[in-house]
């Protein structure tokens, strides 16, 4: 399938580019924060004895953000 040269989205019959890049950046940021928060909540639920280190916490939050952004990009496609 072809890609739009402007927004890099899939070119379909009903394709419309986003109006502003700021909107796309805000959406990506919001989804990243939601994914990071979901990772933090999962750690709080499953690590009841608080044995996680700071580095592990950073990795889980970053992984949650990246997974959230990846899911968002896949669903927009």
pLDDT digits (tens, 9 = 90+) for 19-67: 687 888 898 999 999 999 998 888 888 887 888 888 888 999 999 999 9
The domain limits of the chain are 21-76
Q: 10: which strand partners?
A: 3
What pLDDT is recorded for position 77? 61
Alpha-helical segments (H) within 1-77: 21-46, 54-76
Best CA proximity match to 24, nearest among 36, 37, 7, 12: 7
pTM above 0.85, yes or no: no
Residue 51 tokens, joined: 């044995």
């Amino acid at each position: 399938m072809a890609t739009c040269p402007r927004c890099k989205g899939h070119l379909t019959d009903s394709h419309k580019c986003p109006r502003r890049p700021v909107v796309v950046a805000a959406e990506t940021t919001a989804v990243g924060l939601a994914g990071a928060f979901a990772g933090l909540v999962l750690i709080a639920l499953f690590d009841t004895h608080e044995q996680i280190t700071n580095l592990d916490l950073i990795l889980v939050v970053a992984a949650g953000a990246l997974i959230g952004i990846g899911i968002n990009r896949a669903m927009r496609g």
